[in-house]
Amino acid sequence: METTFTVFPQLPLELRSKVWRFALLLFPRVIELKSMKPANGLDKNTRPWWIAYPTSKPTLLSINRESRRILLPYYSAPFQARRISPRIGIEGLIISYYVDTLFINTEFQSSRHSDVLFRDLFGSYFSEVQDNLKRIACTETFWVKLVEEGYQKKIGAKRAGLMEEFTNLEEAIVVVTRTSPEHSVPWKLRQFVELHEGCEEWRRVEKELHPIFNSLRKERYNKRLCAKIETPSGT
């Protein structure tokens, strides 16, 4: 049985372009932005530094010139070097709002409003992210912060709930906090695995974070409760 499509180069450009665009859906990634503990400890007035960890490179952009030319417009580079560690090559960090998931991985308890955090990460591109991002994942800690900000809005605070401003959001993921042993080598996120509905972790998180999903736009987006699957970064 043939496993290659040898006539693809002979197809009209219009058809090849459609194939490339459909193929984009087969290569979703997670762009993990992980906060680092401040050197002065957990001072709630300190703004954290971040390191970016994409689960993979954007594979289709490296196939050939045609794939890159057709698919590059589906990617954006909104990340700012001011707060994200330059060691990861911030200029080359890109995200596809159509298929990729943005993962805000932070356990840092900050007294600052969540939009300050996002503006640290995206700067003047924050509005672009709000208008286009379809999938976001956050730790329990960060979702709790959003819940608290939502309550502040209800009692008369002037600041609006941040997630209401993500106008095209389709999926919100709660990444459940699990205690894990210290690793001698760095570990890297590979994927999310959904928790079984009704399990102890699922019931706990659903109860604690229900307000954030129940109140925003009448649950206009899908919500998932997930755990992280990580492996040593060298594997």
**């706990």: which residue's tokens?**
204
**Residue 140: closest CA among 169, 103, 180:** 103
* pTM for the full predicted model: 0.81
Q: Is 107 helix (H, G, I), strand (E, B) or coil?
A: coil
**Residue 164: closest CA among 175, 155, 153:** 153
Mind listing the pLDDT tens digit for each residue in 88-141? 455 578 999 999 999 998 876 666 677 778 888 898 999 999 999 999 998 888
Mind listing the pLDDT tens digit for each residue in 139-188? 888 887 776 776 565 544 444 466 778 889 888 888 887 655 555 555 66
The residues spanned by each domain of the chain are 31-56+78-232
Residues in Cβ contact with 123 at an 8 Å cutoff, skipping those fewer than 6 apart: 78, 80, 82
